[in-house]
Amino acid sequence: MASASASDSSSAELTNKTAALWHWVLAFILTLAFGLEITSFFLPVSFTDDLDAAFILIATASVLAGLWRQLPLQNVMPAALGIAVIGGAFSALGARTGLPFGPFMFASSMGTPLFGTLPWAMPLVWVVMVLVSRGVGRLILRPWRKNKTYGFKLIGLTAVLVLLFDLGLEPYAFRVKHYWLWAHTVLPVTWQGAPLFDFLAWGLVTALILLFVTPLLIVKKPRPRRGADLHPLCLWLGAMALFGTGCAANGLWPATIADAVIGIGTAVFAIRGARW
């Protein structure tokens, strides 16, 4: 019995070391890709579309590797698949019917479509947005992690953070990268061309997704106590810096200011929670 326990402990330690290695390797590669993306706004780069595709793939892998340090892969991969399938299904529905995000269509620059409608990258965008926002939400709520209603608060806060993330993403995706195109709506009020109910829809769909995948994201076995995981916050701030730089390079100053406010405001609350 003691031998089996020691073997299990050794296997778990090896898994943790492997996850940590992949986490840092992918974080380093993502940093390089981030630098290339920033450079592409100011210097002509002939492989921009390939760079965007690689950036999305590396960002997704980095997010999953970071989560692997906390949870077994048999939890991480089904959770990511659930987010990708549900989020992707709503995006495909939106492109065909205009519900629930509003009337839009994906552009060819977003990548080869799956099933004739959904670009392959869109499910990965959902995975990154939801998991990074949930990680930042955990930092913000760290002082209340033992509260009985913590789980519901985390779902609600994650939905709000995805909404804020989308506020930063939309000008970048629509006006800078032209990943999708918005049509005119009945309501005249928009944010950089995107209807306001688009952002509410992202938050509501995120809450729905988390109702299904949250059980997979809960640590069920006791693990060694660690400090706050700042990886999601770094990814969040990197994304806002990328969006803001792209918008600034294209003269979209209101969007640039909004990205700065969202990034700084989120960082203040997340760092305050992480220090608890």
Give pLDDT, residue 41: 87
The DSSP bridge partners found for residue 119 are 113
Give pLDDT, residue 3: 47
DSSP 173: I
Give pLDDT, residue 10: 55
**How much is the pTM?**
0.92
Residue of 257, 260, 263, 274 whose CA lies nearest to 237: 263
* Full DSSP string of 73-103: HHHHHHHHHHHHHHHHHHHHHHHHH-TTT-S
Whether 140 contacts 273, CB under 8 Å: yes
Give pLDDT, residue 2: 44
Which residue stretches of the chain have pLDDT < 70? 1-14, 45-49, 221-226
Q: Where are the domains of the chain?
A: 2-274
d(CA 159, CA 221): 26
What are the tokens at 137? Answer: 């939400």
pLDDT in tens, 76-115: 999 999 999 999 999 999 999 999 999 999 988 887 888 8
